[in-house]
Chain A
């Protein structure tokens, strides 16, 4: 385990290139980033700027072409596909723009899925999940299938799923991008509140500068380069 003063998350010279219709497109060009434990980081950038790719690399869903990804002292880039998968289900919580709940699992099964895959479901974890479900106001929907829920409800369930297995950090990819203003506010508030209470680090890709206002660190991705600012500075220069 890393020392307390070391950054929780470190990206060193991370590059990622895609081949698009025969042409190389550099999405991440030597990206460096240090994130403290428990921080709330927003990544701003236009569509196609590489925000999602960055989150995927941090979450071990994708791998960089070069560079290092250190999470709590462990280098993700050296892990095999299976080890990265195990890392994800143990340590990463994810919230997607399109909710991505599994339609053939009930709400409760969706929430417990990462822990089920890891084989760590026990009474304590179940109680924890129930508490979280109650916190998002959907405790009466645990046996419901996702398609019977509204978009806002589905995203609240996705937040619970991201936190129920007590991950090290949460990645949120434009979590309010598919919701109306009222639901966006509610979902965002719950996500921030619950991650903060759990002491989890939160990385969120977003277009929304209002969300960035609440972040401890604001990153901007443009032309494959990542610049970091304090929240106040980011807002001044937007």
Chain B
């Protein structure tokens, strides 16, 4: 491309500084959200993976068991009978410390055996004996109730070696002496082990209430004959598994959640791309004469095309670089929300440092450049179609744009049909689901200019009758400048439809959860340990039920046991979340997807050995009425349980298996329970019973909640999970605002002479201000009306396609009147707000200057 064209392009952009800035901003916003969500998700994922891998050191395999873990005696078998040297027993649990009950990981180890698996204890100097770390570890063995911990925990609790401090579980509290500080060899390990407390295995067993059992036995071996020997020696109820595959299956827990976030960030990017397209189109329309002159002077179509694309790439590159930087900063803001939700719903994770992987940077760069290029292609092509003759006739441009309206509508129809068909292909693929969603969204938006044309033609007689010729002018001006208004209204409609779609989906989900909770929370008071995620088992003493029954006002106490259980048929999936209940709380209200026995016989069937599973569980494991068994690894080895129904449940997207307590106890020698549900006598006062119950369990750190409090907590978690979508919605609203602002500014520039003439003919500044705002308001109103069906379609797809595939659950599509006026209100407000500045400028226009001929 000749340098003179580049120079011309640069000067043209200098003159339109605002539009250039908006272009860069659109790319910055889109790339920042994509990178930001990735940074937050990667940081959480990496923190979790680091913690797991640092805790497990070099272990290649692990022997795990049921709810109790692995009998300690089997460790002896592995070491002595099977002769496996590189093996270490581990007891692991979550404990709480400090005034605010900070969650820490307590690791019980055998200091000598552990050096075979984990290095961080052996290599790190321990404060009291820097030269001989093993000496400090020996103190763990020699002195009861001693621990070592990290600098982070010591700082958090304000303790030093030699100090005593208290740790608590759901069942007891105990004082420990700190005998050393672990100083991992590098920052990465330090971050991963930040919340670690290490004790001798016997101390940990005693404190966590698992005497005679370890959580797992870790092995470092790749010797297949050794592994075969171990497998052969495994007693029923134990399993040998690869550490790596377990890590991967754990990482999957939050996979759907983070994938959804990433897809939503892409949705914002689509809105951004549309805005860039919008800006580039205006840029070409405004330079028609300029481009026509260049063509007349000998510039080829290819050179014109290259000039426009180069412009887009220059600004796209600037936007991309800034976007990646902004994304990293945004990631820092989002990471708290993401980790909080992951900790609420999946596993406890704490991010000490942000992760910006080369892949994320590459993704951001590619996204930014492709978005800039993609958005510029059509405007660049239209620029090549400008001829010297047509350039001087703006009506030609509008006629051409009107013919493109039909083309866009036809393309929209194709995209819409393709999107709907795509939902039928690969019915479980989330990627295909998102592909279908994007196609349907883009297809619907492509109809917007045609719909705008029709709507304004229909509206014109009405506004003309109501407000005279000036009233008729506004819809005519919109249809006349369709090349600008069509794209601007489409961009606004797209942004508003995303806002409406996501809002309706969230509202529908929330309403469904409300109905579900009404049915599920039939007890009056719930007692449980503070939540530590899906992977933690809380052991409560079942005898507490008797104490609870003795509380005045309590009529009945039910128990539930919540444990992760291995399902041999699904080695690649995380362990099954099994809930064993002494009575079915939601028996009468439960909504079944299907059931093999009549509703009133379900409990009987459960007591007879069957299980019912949630729909997410059934979806992930492809359980259908035809495949009606689920094999679980019980203490006596794998046992197949008949699945007698699949029901709706929104407590966990991993799903749960519900079993009768009596059946559970017959298969697992597990003495503990996880929670209690209290029914009150008809004359009992909830507040009084709550107070008495809290008094009873005061020293155990248990959470005692009324139904209302529990419900509020559930919705707090729900709202936190969706808090991040508010960023998306805000960004979409901002993009909508900018889209309409840039359209109005471009239109104002084009209609300068007309506005000047009208002022000269006697239109006052105030009348011109109102006329411009009326036109803007009409565009906003149209966008709001178009956005509504598109938003509802988007919500329907988010519910029926995306949620169903990502989380395996279905919920009702509930449209409130709020959604209807929200759509109109947002679009109208965005348009009117965006219209204020252009209208103000138009009103201040000096007519003499605007109509000057020379």
Contacts and interface: CB of A to CB of B under 8 A. Distances in A.
A103 B469 contact: no
A104 B774 CA distance: 15
Interface centre among A47, A52, A86, A112 (most CB of B within 10 A): A52
A143 interface: no
A96 B757 contact: yes
A230 interface: no
B762 A118 contact: yes
Interface in B805-854: 846-848, 851-854
B761 interface: yes
A112 B853 contact: no
B472 interface: yes
Contact of A117 (B477, B757, B762, B854): B762
A147 B847 CA distance: 22
B758 interface: yes
A116 to B, nearest CB: 5
Size bracket, chain B contacts: 20 to 34
A131 interface: no
Contacts of B571: none
Contacts of A94: 760-761
Interface string B763-798: 111110000000000000000000000000000000
B472 A109 contact: yes
B753 interface: yes
Contact of A114 (B468, B761, B846, B852): B761
A117 B852 contact: no
B667 interface: no
B848 A61 contact: yes
B761 A117 contact: yes
A100 B469 contact: no
Interface centre among A47, A48, A100, A147 (most CB of B within 10 A): A100
Contacts of A134: none
Contact of B762 (A52, A53, A89, A177): A89
B480 interface: yes
B233 interface: no
Contacts of A104: 472-473, 476-477, 480
A116 B467 CA distance: 11
Contacts of B854: 47-48, 52
Given A105-B469, A113-B469, A147-B395, A100 B851 contact: yes
B473 A102 contact: yes
Contacts of A56: 847-848
Interface centre among B762, B848, B852 (most CB of A within 10 A): B762
B765 A81 contact: yes
Given A62-B848, A112-B469, A174-B853, A85 B764 contact: yes
Contacts of B468: 116
A85 B759 contact: yes
B754 interface: yes
B259 interface: no
Given A52-B852, A88-B760, A174-B853, A102 B765 contact: no
Interface centre among A47, A103, A112 (most CB of B within 10 A): A103
Interface in A42-58: 47-48, 52-53, 56
Contacts of B753: 98, 100
B354 interface: no
Contacts of A118: 762
Nearest to A85: B764
A56 B759 CA distance: 12
Contact of A96 (B472, B762, B763, B851): B851
A59 interface: yes
A117 B853 contact: no
A173 interface: yes
Contacts of A62: 846-848
Contacts of A82: 764-766
Interface in B111-161: none
Interface string B743-760: 000000000011001111
A15 to B, nearest CB: 15
A161 to B, nearest CB: 8
B853 A98 contact: yes
B470 interface: yes
A63 to B, nearest CB: 9
Interface string A168-180: 0000011001000
A97 interface: yes
Q: Is the interface of A mostly helix, strand, loop or mixed?
A: helix
B763 A117 contact: yes
B480 to A, nearest CB: 6
Given A96-B853, A116-B468, A174-B853, A102 B758 contact: yes
A174 B846 CA distance: 21
Nearest to B756: A100
A187 to B, nearest CB: 16
Contacts of B760: 59, 61, 88, 94, 100
B761 A113 contact: yes
B763 A103 contact: no
A153 to B, nearest CB: 15
Interface string A153-168: 0000000010000000
Interface in B464-514: 468-470, 472-473, 476-477, 480
A47 B852 CA distance: 12
Contacts of B851: 61, 96, 100
A81 to B, nearest CB: 6
Interface centre among A47, A48, A53, A147 (most CB of B within 10 A): A147
A99 to B, nearest CB: 9
Interface centre among B470, B754, B848, B852 (most CB of A within 10 A): B848
A147 B476 CA distance: 13
Nearest to A59: B760
Nearest to A165: B762
Contacts of B848: 53, 56, 61-62
Given A52-B852, A104-B473, A105-B473, A89 B757 contact: no
Contacts of B846: 62
Contacts of A117: 761-763, 767
A102 B853 contact: no
Interface in B598-612: none
Nearest to B399: A147
A206 to B, nearest CB: 12
11 contacts: A52-B854, A56-B847, A59-B760, A61-B851, A62-B846, A85-B759, A98-B853, A102-B757, A103-B754, A173-B853, A177-B853
In the A-B complex, the 5 residue pairs with the closest CB atoms: A89-B762, A62-B848, A104-B476, A100-B757, A109-B469
Given A88-B760, A104-B477, A117-B763, 14 more contacts: A62-B846, A86-B762, A88-B762, A89-B761, A89-B762, A94-B761, A102-B757, A104-B472, A104-B480, A112-B469, A117-B761, A117-B767, A147-B395, A177-B853
